[in-house]
Each structure stands twice: as structure tokens, then as C-alpha cells.
């Protein structure tokens, strides 16, 4: 009987040992972000102790949306929030969804020619995009695709945004001269001043999704861009005067029904700059990068649309970021940092940051070491719908991928 008991205990211990091995192997390694190519699917950043996971595990490059474009479809019960992204692989550039709970990916589009557009209908579950002169909508649930609009031969525009009640698309149109400058000088440092100095006619337009009516709502002989509808006011459209930020009062809104224009922030001193503007999720505030003057003192500025009063949160040179974003309650902000070649000339700015307002300044926490990332690709941070993760894109593995870093710090035992 003792031998049987001994053998049973021995087998039990061996079984425990066998079962324990996968648990040890599945624990996230603690390593420097970008120190391996490829990185594991999940790891703990050794410099920040925050967990990072790869969300897009398809071959090829995987691209997340620009920072002010909302790519998320919130879950209706417990099925998991979904994020729309682009995969550039063997099938060309196609839209996919990834379930942020299960990491299951699903292909949404199947076009043989390139498509562009980062527009999501959060009520309809449609994504809107453009293929040459044609605008399409594809439903991410049914995969049904519908032609929405075809631009006329004398007006080649580009869609940019969808209004809050999902009845109107808006975008911009410029002359052929502007397109030729962009084609001849593909690098931003080469085309930026040239387009601004050319004073080419630009126009803003809307497209009625139901009727297909194209309406030209505003035109100026200057470069217009960064077009965004308010997330709550269907008739309020924001745009900017593009060009060297120290030469323009950049941020504007227009009421698409009345045509009323409003300058959101006017420069107060020589060389002051404001830009990379975005709406708060409640639509009540427009936030923007603010430097008074350029490259010297750094703030995130916010203009309350109700009365145009401003709030400024100061940050250090190293904390300055190319783009910022904000949680729904505006108690947390995120930034994607920048390399020494950016306007802040930061010596140690290559980090993803979490910011907490504290009086007139930000208290910052480093989330991800981005020193292996080439900032030619801007990370473009987003808060996940549950606001437990910051989602960003990076190339520290040698190709473009989409990642999420957990806001809560991992405690190592």
C-alpha cells in the first residue's frame, strides 16, 4: 500500500511539474521594447513596468488610425470592443477589425485598387473610404458594401470626417497645382512651405449620405486641412489653416448650415504656435499643442467652445508630444513623445506618456520606451474604449504594427 501511495505521489508531482511549464512559458518577459526583432506578442517594458501587447498579428504592415479619428466600435454587451485598422499585405491595403478582448481579426474590405479613409460610423457600424473618385461604405457586421458618391470630373475632393448623426461626410478639395507640389516634393519638409506660399484655392465640402448631394461650404486661397466634425454637434465642423504654425491663426470652426466661422485660438506673441487640434469626447472643448513661443515653453491648450475661455497645462520639453489625446472625463491625457529632430528638440523625449492634470501643469508617467522607434512614423495615441489601455503604432520591430500598453503598472513578484 505504501508503494502505491508513493508511486501516486510521484506521478502527482510529475503532473504538477508538467502543468507548471506552460504557465512559466506564458508569463510576459521583462525586456527593453524594441530590443528584439521580432518582439514577443506580449511583454513588460523593463524601463516602465507597463505591459505591452501586439494587437495586429497579420503578415505585412498594420496601420492604426490618425490620432483624432475614432477607430472603435464599442461592445453592446460583453462581446468585446472592436478596432478598425488597415493591413498592407499580399491583398494590398484592406480594412480589418480586431476584437480588443479576444484579439480575433476579421477582414472587412476586398478591393483590388488602393483605398483611403479613416472614417467610422459608430451608430451604423459602417466604415467610409475612398477609391479614386468614388466613396464607399462597408458595414463591419454584414460586410455589405454600398457606393455613396462619385466626384465629378471638375471637382476631385477627399473625404475626411463624418458628422455626429451620420448624415453628412465632409472633406477638402484643392487645385491641381497643390497636388503637383506634393508629388514633386514627397517629404513634408520640402512641400510644407511651398504649398503654403503658393496660396492655392482650397474648398471645404459636404456630401449628404442619403441624397448624394455635394455642397461647397467654404473656400479660401490658402491651404486648408485637419478637417473634423464635432463628435456631438452635427453641424459643427473644425478645420485648420495649414502651413508654418507661427504664421497662421490655425484653428477654426464653421457651422455647415449657417456658414458662421469662428477662430478658436489667436496667437498672442511673435512665434507662438498652436496646432494638432482635436475635440474632447464630449465635444465641449478643442485641445491643441500650444507653444509660447515656438520651441521654448510647452503647453496643452484647451478652448471651451461655450465661451472660448482657455485652460493651459504646462509640460517639460521632454514631455512634449507630437500628438495628444484625452480620456472621456478629461482627467487623463496621453502623448506619443518625440525624437530630437522634432520642434521641442527634446534630449529624452522618446517615450509614450500618460498625463494627469495638476493645477496648471501635467504630472507625467512614462508608459513605453520608444527609443528603438523611428519617429518618421508618428505613434498617434488613442485611449481604448474602456480607458484601460493606450493604443499606438510603432516600427521598432522593423515593420509597422499596432500595440496597446496597459495604463495600470504591472507588479512583478
Q: Is residue 246 part of a domain?
A: no
CA 271 – CA 291 distance, rounded (Å): 9
Query: What is the tens place of the pLDDT at every residue in 60-101?
Result: 999 999 999 999 999 999 999 999 999 999 989 999 999 999
What φ, ψ does residue 53 adopt, rounded to 5°? -130, 150
Q: Is residue 207 part of a domain?
A: no
C-alpha cell recorded at residue 123 = 451608430
Query: What is the tens place of the pLDDT at every residue in 337-395?
Result: 999 999 999 999 999 999 999 999 999 999 999 999 999 999 999 999 999 999 999 99
Q: Is residue 57 part of a domain?
A: yes
Q: pLDDT exceeding 90 applies to what percent of the chain?
A: 89
Strand partners, 386: none
Strand partners, 162: 169
Q: Is residue 222 part of a domain?
A: no
Q: Is 231 exposed, middle or buried (0-12, 13-18, 19+ CB in 10 A)?
A: middle
In whole angstroms, what separates CA 177 from the centre of its chain? 29
Say whether pLDDT at 2 is over 60: no
Q: Is residue 147 part of a domain?
A: no
Q: Is residue 288 part of a domain?
A: yes
Domain enclosing residue 400, as ranges: 33-65+281-413
In whole angstroms, what separates CA 201 from the centre of its chain? 28
C-alpha cell recorded at residue 6 = 508513493
Q: Is residue 276 part of a domain?
A: no
DSSP alpha helices (H): ranges in 352-403?
none
pLDDT of residue 21: 37
C-alpha cell recorded at residue 92 = 494590398
Q: Is residue 386 part of a domain?
A: yes
> Number of folded domains in the chain?
1
The residues, ordered by sequence, that sit 6+ positions from 142 with a Cβ below 8 Å of its Cβ are none
Rounded alpha-carbon distances, angstroms, from residue 333 to 74, 158, 274, 399: 20, 30, 18, 27
Q: Is 119 helix (H, G, I), strand (E, B) or coil?
A: strand
Amino acid at each position: 500500500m505504501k508503494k502505491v501511495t508513493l508511486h501516486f505521489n510521484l506521478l502527482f508531482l510529475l503532473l504538477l511539474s508538467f502543468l507548471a511549464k506552460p504557465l512559466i512559458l506564458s508569463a510576459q518577459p521583462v525586456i527593453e521594447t524594441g530590443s528584439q526583432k521580432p518582439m514577443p506578442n506580449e511583454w513588460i517594458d523593463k524601463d516602465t513596468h507597463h505591459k505591452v501587447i501586439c494587437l495586429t498579428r497579420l503578415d505585412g504592415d498594420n496601420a492604426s488610425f490618425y490620432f483624432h479619428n475614432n477607430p472603435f466600435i464599442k461592445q453592446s454587451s460583453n462581446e468585446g470592443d472592436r478596432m478598425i485598422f488597415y493591413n498592407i499585405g499580399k491583398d494590398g491595403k484592406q480594412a480589418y477589425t480586431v476584437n480588443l478582448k479576444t484579439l480575433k481579426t476579421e477582414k472587412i474590405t476586398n478591393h483590388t485598387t488602393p483605398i483611403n479613409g479613416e472614417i467610422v460610423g459608430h451608430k451604423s457600424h459602417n466604415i467610409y473610404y475612398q477609391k479614386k473618385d468614388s466613396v464607399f461604405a462597408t458595414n463591419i457586421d454584414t460586410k455589405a458594401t454600398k457606393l455613396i458618391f462619385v466626384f465629378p470630373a471638375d471637382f476631385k475632393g477627399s473625404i475626411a470626417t463624418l458628422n455626429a448623426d451620420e448624415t453628412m461626410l465632409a472633406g477638402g478639395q484643392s487645385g491641381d497645382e497643390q497636388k503637383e507640389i506634393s508629388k514633386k516634393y514627397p517629404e513634408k519638409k520640402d512641400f510644407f512651405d511651398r504649398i503654403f506660399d503658393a496660396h492655392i484655392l482650397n474648398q471645404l465640402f459636404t456630401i449628404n449620405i442619403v441624397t448624394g448631394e455635394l455642397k461647397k461650404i467654404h473656400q479660401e486661397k490658402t491651404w486648408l486641412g485637419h478637417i473634423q466634425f464635432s463628435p456631438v454637434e452635427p453641424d459643427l465642423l473644425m478645420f485648420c489653416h495649414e502651413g508654418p504654425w507661427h504664421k497662421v491663426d490655425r484653428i477654426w470652426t464653421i457651422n455647415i448650415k449657417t456658414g458662421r466661422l469662428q477662430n478658436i485660438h489667436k496667437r498672442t506673441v511673435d512665434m507662438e504656435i498652436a496646432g494638432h487640434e482635436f475635440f474632447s469626447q464630449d465635444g465641449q472643448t478643442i485641445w491643441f499643442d500650444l507653444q509660447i513661443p515656438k520651441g521654448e515653453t510647452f503647453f496643452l491648450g484647451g478652448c471651451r467652445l461655450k465661451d472660448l475661455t482657455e485652460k493651459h497645462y504646462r509640460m517639460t520639453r521632454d514631455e512634449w508630444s507630437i500628438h495628444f489625446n484625452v480620456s472621456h472625463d478629461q482627467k487623463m491625457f496621453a502623448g506619443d513623445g518625440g525624437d530630437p529632430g522634432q520642434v521641442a528638440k527634446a534630449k529624452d523625449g522618446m517615450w509614450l506618456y500618460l498625463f494627469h492634470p495638476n493645477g496648471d501643469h501635467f504630472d507625467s508617467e512614462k508608459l513605453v520606451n520608444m527609443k528603438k522607434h523611428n519617429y518618421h512614423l508618428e505613434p498617434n495615441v488613442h485611449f481604448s474604449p474602456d480607458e484601460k489601455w493606450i493604443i499606438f503604432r510603432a516600427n521598432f520591430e522593423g515593420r509597422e504594427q499596432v500595440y496597446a500598453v496597459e495604463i495600470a503598472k504591472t507588479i512583478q513578484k
